Amino acid sequence: MEITRIPLGAWIEGGLNWLTSEYSVVTRAISRVTQTGIEVLNDGLMWLPEWALMALIAVLCWRASSYRLAIGAVAGLALIWNLGLWNPMIETLTLVVIATLVAIIIAIPVGIGAALSERLYRGVMPILDFMQTMPAFVYLIPAIPFFGIGSVSAIFATVIFSMPPAIRFTALGIRQVPVELIEAADAYGSTRGQKLFKVQLPLSLPTVMAGVNQTIMLALSMVVIAAMIGADGLGSEVWRAIQRLRPGDGFEAGIAVVILAMLLDRLTQSLRRTRAK
Amino acid sequence: MDETRNVKIQVSGLSKVFGKNPKKGLELRNQGLKRPEIFDKTGLTLGLSNINFDVYEGELLVIMGLSGSGKSTLIRCLNRLIDTTEGEIIIDGENIPALSEKALLECRRRHFSMVFQNFALFPHRTVQQNAEFGLEIRGVDKAERKKIAQDSLTQVGLDGWEDAYPDQLSGGMQQRVGLARALANDASVLLMDEAFSALDPLIRKDMQQELIELQARTKKTTVFITHDLDEALSIGDRIVLLKDGEIVQIGTPEEILTKPADDYVRRFIEGVDMSRILTAENAMRKVRSTARVGDGPRTALRKMRDHTMDSIYVTDNDRKLKGLLEVDAASQAIEDGAEGIANYLTQDFRRVTPDEPLQNLFAMFSDKSFPIAVVDEDQRLLGVVVKGAVLGELARAGDQ
């Protein structure tokens, strides 16, 4: 007896096609806005001379953390500059910044909602599990019909891939606020908004920032992978090295990614610590 | 109790059942089932059952019970941090369980300040900002709330700590911040949930004393929760004793001590240091006879003889205490042929107010054998305490 194969793939494709044609106005608008955002930020960062941007980042590191981080940042960026990977690095940074911003703008309200509403929490959590365990490459495929080959698709896939930790940590942070502090806020007659902005959010900020840190790290890894659908940056350097079988070039670009990752990680972690007190 | 006092909060028929389908729990309660049986049958917890009491304007009411007695639930029902299952809580004509969400916020802001067992200070705010919290929530403008918060911090002795964070303070100081936050809010009722239970015994005694003084000064209606009978007896104007979600007895500390409602209360009060709780009023006797200032020496002497006393307290027409006439001085006055006794009085005796702890009276007896005069604020003579009566009263209270 033959059991009919469930045409799951066909259904999904049908659904995606329907979305693409029905909402092309929306996707095109998103595409245009995102593209503009990418270009403006990219051009801005490119317009700055290398040394100026390095100095800026060094000062930021020094203010937020320590002179040691500043020295490390300058050394790492100088190496990238020296290897001739400055422009790809800037392109990657642009994609990470924009994808992270979009992810956070979506994730924090959703996280707050999930923390405050048990029903939303139960609805959102399985979706997050799905988003995180689905192999990252798969997001690249529907991105193309929505937004075409290029950076906007990369952003789309990256946002989806990197958003879950920010949602989870935001919800977790708010749920961890001690009950008695919530009682204190209530006892003095706080509205929901007052309670959220004066008590819950400030107290969950360290946890929320840990989520943001995770989101940035995931965004960076995805932006590199997104080179496969035509995203510019360090990822495309790696991709080219693979195609030409040039391990040296590949590692150079890979090291640049590592430097950028460490820099972003240390910087956001130190922001988290300074905010915590 | 004093019928003329204004009722601030009136709690009537208040019950709380925890769990799904609480009405079912009430039905079983009405059939006469008790808390453990209801739990076994339905998994519902009867937190409070048919609670009735009044809180008078300006009094310090202590709600006392062991853990599980429902006292924390009860105080949270008052400002509806916990929703009640049935019953009324009327404050200034408003029934709190029936208020809309919006009216409830307004009611909490106007009527309730709360001090918590583990302080519940906001760790991300300075001492000053913590004290300002209630005012900030109510939308009081910045300059004004700063001033008010400053005043209340001064009241609790935290001058100079405005910019510290709570985690830089000791437990006692943190609770002072909690108290300042409540005082700054100037709500009409102060709720204190085991406010001193987390503090060291010594600091705790200090805080109790300060609360008593503060309360006497401000006449703020206060509801204080505790599991500690000593604390309840030493700070409460009246005590509501809770057990298993029901009221066992309501009364003044003296009433609880001298007329325990049942064996439960009796067991509770064993081991209480009686001499600290009882006051001059408990041991006070009516004066058998007094002399008037206008009396002649012979009249005074006769009154003493009639009652076999060797001294007599002398009052004016308003019963105000003027002095003490000793038998020798009366004889002297007769010898001198004096018309009145006014010039033969001595002031060499002790006078106390009715709320003087009995403990303090012991020391006073050692130097003179005159009875101690008990007078009110206007120096009217209310009664006297003789040495035997103090011991007798203690023995009696101890036996019960």
DSSP string, B178-232: HHHHHHHHT-SEEEEESTTTTS-HHHHHHHHHHHHHHHHHH--EEEEEES-HHHH
Q: What does the pLDDT read at residue A277?
A: 43
CB A227 within 8 A of CB A238: yes
Please tell me which residue, A174 or A134, carries the higher pLDDT value. Answer: A174
Q: Does A191 touch chain B (CB under 8 A)?
A: yes
Mean pLDDT for A8-22 is 87
Mean pLDDT for B81-86 is 93
Q: What does the pLDDT read at residue A273?
A: 66
If one counts every other C-beta atom within 10 angstroms of the C-beta of residue A25, the result is 8
Q: What does the pLDDT read at residue B393?
A: 66
Of B9-13, B232-236, B296-300, highest mean pLDDT: B9-13
Q: Does A129 touch chain B (CB under 8 A)?
A: no
Q: Does B174 touch chain A (CB under 8 A)?
A: no
CB pairs under 8 A between A and B: 58
Residues of chain A with Cβ-Cβ distance to B102 below 8 Å are none
Most A CBs within 10 Å, among B72, B77, B78, B133, to test the A interface = B133
Would you place residue B348 in the very low, low, confident or very high pLDDT band (cuts 50, 70, 90)?
A: confident
Please tell me which residue, A251 or B213, carries the higher pLDDT value. Answer: A251
**Res. B80: pLDDT tops 90:** yes
- What is the overall mean pLDDT for chain A? 90
Mean pLDDT for B339-367 is 79
How far apart CA A26 and CA A55 sit, in angstroms, is 40
Q: Does B198 touch chain A (CB under 8 A)?
A: no
Mean pLDDT for A155-177 is 93
Give the pair of three-digit tokens for residue A225.
Answer: 């992978």
Residues of chain A with Cβ-Cβ distance to B79 below 8 Å are 187
Out of A183, A189, A202, whose CB is closest to B137? A189
State which residue of chain B sits closest to A181, comparing Cα positions.
B120
Query: In a 10 Å sphere around its CB, with 0-12 CB exposed, 13-18 middle and 19+ buried, how is residue A81 labelled?
Result: middle
Mean pLDDT for A105-130 is 93
Please tell me which residue, B171 or B399, carries the higher pLDDT value. Answer: B171
Q: What angle do CA B384, B388, B390 make, to 5 degrees?
A: 70
State which residue of chain A sits closest to B137, comparing Cα positions.
A190
Please tell me which residue, A168 or A150, carries the higher pLDDT value. Answer: A168
Q: Does A199 touch chain B (CB under 8 A)?
A: yes
The label of the residue with tokens 């909690």 reads B178
State which residue of chain A sits closest to B113, comparing Cα positions.
A188
Question: For A88-97, A130-139, A260-269, which range has the lowest pLDDT when averaged over its residues?
Answer: A130-139
Q: Cβ A203–B137 below 8 Å, yes or no?
A: no
Q: Does B197 touch chain A (CB under 8 A)?
A: no
Q: What does the pLDDT read at residue A276?
A: 46
Mean pLDDT for B184-199 is 91
Question: Distance of alpha carbon B367 from its chain centroid, rounded?
Answer: 32
**List of domains in chain B:** 281-399 (3.10.580.10)
Q: What does the pLDDT read at residue B316?
A: 87
Assigned architecture for domain A22-276: Orthogonal Bundle (1.10)
Of A1-5, A85-89, B204-208, highest mean pLDDT: A85-89
Q: Does B237 touch chain A (CB under 8 A)?
A: no
Question: For B122-126, B141-145, B362-366, which range has the lowest pLDDT when averaged over its residues?
Answer: B362-366
Q: Assign B15 to helix, strand or coil.
A: strand
Mean pLDDT for B192-202 is 88
Between the alpha carbon of residue A150 and those of residues A250, B103, B108, B254, the distances in Å are 21, 55, 56, 85
Enumerate the domain spans of chain A. 22-276
Most B CBs within 10 Å, among A188, A194, A200, to test the B interface = A188
State which residue of chain B sits closest to A180, comparing Cα positions.
B120
Would you place residue A171 in the very low, low, confident or very high pLDDT band (cuts 50, 70, 90)?
A: very high
Q: Does B191 touch chain A (CB under 8 A)?
A: yes
Q: What angle do CA A236, A242, A244 make, to 5 degrees?
A: 105
Would you place residue B89 in the very low, low, confident or very high pLDDT band (cuts 50, 70, 90)?
A: very high
Mean pLDDT for A209-230 is 90
A149 secondary structure, DSSP code: S
**Res. B3: pLDDT tops 60:** no
Q: Does A186 touch chain B (CB under 8 A)?
A: yes
Q: Assign B87 to helix, strand or coil.
A: strand
- What is the overall mean pLDDT for chain B? 87
State which residue of chain A sits closest to B187, comparing Cα positions.
A188
Q: What does the pLDDT read at residue B270?
A: 73
Distance from CA of B230 to the nearest CA of A (A): 26
**Res. B400: pLDDT tops 60:** no
Distance from CA of A189 to the nearest CA of B (A): 5
Distance from CA of A106 to the nearest CA of B (A): 26
**Res. B277: pLDDT tops 80:** no
**Res. A70: pLDDT tops 50:** yes
Would you place residue B391 in the very low, low, confident or very high pLDDT band (cuts 50, 70, 90)?
A: low
Q: What does the pLDDT read at residue B392?
A: 62
B166 secondary structure, DSSP code: G
Q: Does B122 touch chain A (CB under 8 A)?
A: yes
Q: Does A118 touch chain B (CB under 8 A)?
A: no
Residues of chain B with Cβ-Cβ distance to A180 below 8 Å are 116-118, 120
Mean pLDDT for B137-162 is 92
Question: What are the φ and ψ backbone dihedral angles of B157, each rounded to 5 degrees?
Answer: 75, 35
Q: What is the pLDDT of residues B313-336, one digit of tens each?
A: 998 888 888 888 888 888 888 888
Residues of chain A with Cβ-Cβ distance to B121 below 8 Å are 184
End-to-end CA distance of chain B: 22
Q: Calculate what percentage of chain B has a pLDDT beyond 90.
A: 41
Please tell me which residue, B107 or B265, carries the higher pLDDT value. Answer: B107
Would you place residue A101 in the very low, low, confident or very high pLDDT band (cuts 50, 70, 90)?
A: very high
State which residue of chain B sits closest to A202, comparing Cα positions.
B124
Q: Cβ B105–A191 below 8 Å, yes or no?
A: yes
Residues facing B53 on adjacent strands: B11
Q: Cβ B122–A194 below 8 Å, yes or no?
A: no
Rounded CA Rg of chain B: 27
Out of A186, A190, A202, whose CB is closest to B124? A202
Q: What does the pLDDT read at residue A1?
A: 66
Would you place residue B274 in the very low, low, confident or very high pLDDT band (cuts 50, 70, 90)?
A: low
Of A15-29, A138-152, A156-170, B26-40, highest mean pLDDT: A156-170
Residues of chain B with Cβ-Cβ distance to A189 below 8 Å are 105-109, 112, 134, 137-138
Most A CBs within 10 Å, among B111, B117, B124, to test the A interface = B124
How far apart CA B182 and CA B112 sit, in angstroms, is 8
Q: Cβ A188–B185 below 8 Å, yes or no?
A: yes
How far apart CA B240 and CA B78 sit, in angstroms, is 14
Distance from CA of B105 to the nearest CA of A (A): 5
